[in-house]
Chains A and B, each alone.
Chain A
Amino acid sequence: KAGVTQTPRYLIKTRGQQVTLSCSPISGHRSVSWYQQTPGQGLQFLFEYFSETQRNKGNFPGRFSGRQFSNSRSEMNVSTLELGDSALYLCASSLDTSVGDTQYFGPGTRLTVL
């Protein structure tokens, strides 16, 4: 089975722009979670989607949003980029996190904001 894929792998944007990142889960997985990783704050949970609905959300401003499509693929969007948004953005998929299923991570998208 193919693993979690994320596109693009690298991205450079300037302050004020917006960006959309994509995540394709493992086939059959219905839950997709997004995380931000920075050297200062570590790995932090952004949000989780299941069956096209946001089921849980972390403590990030409204500039961070996401959605999930009927094929379980997910996108996250960051609007009005700030320098502090530079990070590795990771998505993870699982069958269903509500029953403790394992989350499998993708390779991440490295976002640099200039």
Chain B
Amino acid sequence: LAKTTQPISMDSYEGQEVNITCSHNNIATNDYITWYQQFPSQGPRFIIQGYKTKVTNEVASLFIPADRKSSTLSLPRVSLSDTAVYYCPVNSGNTGKLIFGQGTTLQVKP
């Protein structure tokens, strides 16, 4: 099963762009890459999902290289409210099992 690795923590300042990279070395052919944001004592909130290349929505962009062994979540112009834990679980394509790593705690400073 694929396992994900992310930096434990990152600091940023308001208004900056933040890029969080996730490594998923043995991702399977039919696995999707999904990013979630979680605030304390709340459920993870879906941010973005992709399979390859680049995906963009109203809140973030997701970059996936051709070998799909990593992905990068890009948050443009972060604000204090973006302080949270970010996860990049791998979605095993034929099951309902999301495999979570330890997540990245993003601290946005004023």
* Chain A interface SS verdict (over half): strand
Q: A42-B102, A43-B87, A100-B91 are in contact. Are A106 and B97 (CB under 8 A)?
A: no
When distances are taken between beta carbons in the complex, the residues of chain A under 8 Å from B94 are 98
Q: Are A94 and B46 in contact (CB under 8 A)?
A: no
Give the contact-size bracket for chain A: 20 to 34
Q: Are A107 and B96 in contact (CB under 8 A)?
A: no
* Chain B interface SS verdict (over half): loop
Q: How far is the CB of B53 from chain A (nearest CB, A)?
A: 16
Q: Are B97 and A48 in contact (CB under 8 A)?
A: yes
Q: Are B91 and A103 in contact (CB under 8 A)?
A: yes
Q: Are A110 and B91 in contact (CB under 8 A)?
A: no
When distances are taken between beta carbons in the complex, the residues of chain A under 8 Å from B103 are 42
Bound CA–CA A23/B36 (angstroms):
20
Bound CA–CA A100/B99 (angstroms):
13
Determine if B84 is an interface residue (Cβ-Cβ < 8 Å).
no
**25 CB-based A-B contacts, threshold 8 Å:** A33-B96, A33-B98, A35-B98, A42-B100, A42-B101, A42-B102, A43-B44, A43-B87, A44-B100, A45-B98, A48-B95, A48-B96, A50-B96, A55-B95, A55-B96, A56-B95, A90-B44, A97-B91, A97-B96, A100-B49, A103-B34, A103-B46, A105-B46, A107-B43, A110-B41
A contact residues vs B (CB 8 Å cutoff): 4, 31, 33, 35, 42-45, 48, 50, 55-56, 58, 88, 90, 92, 94, 97-100, 102-108, 110
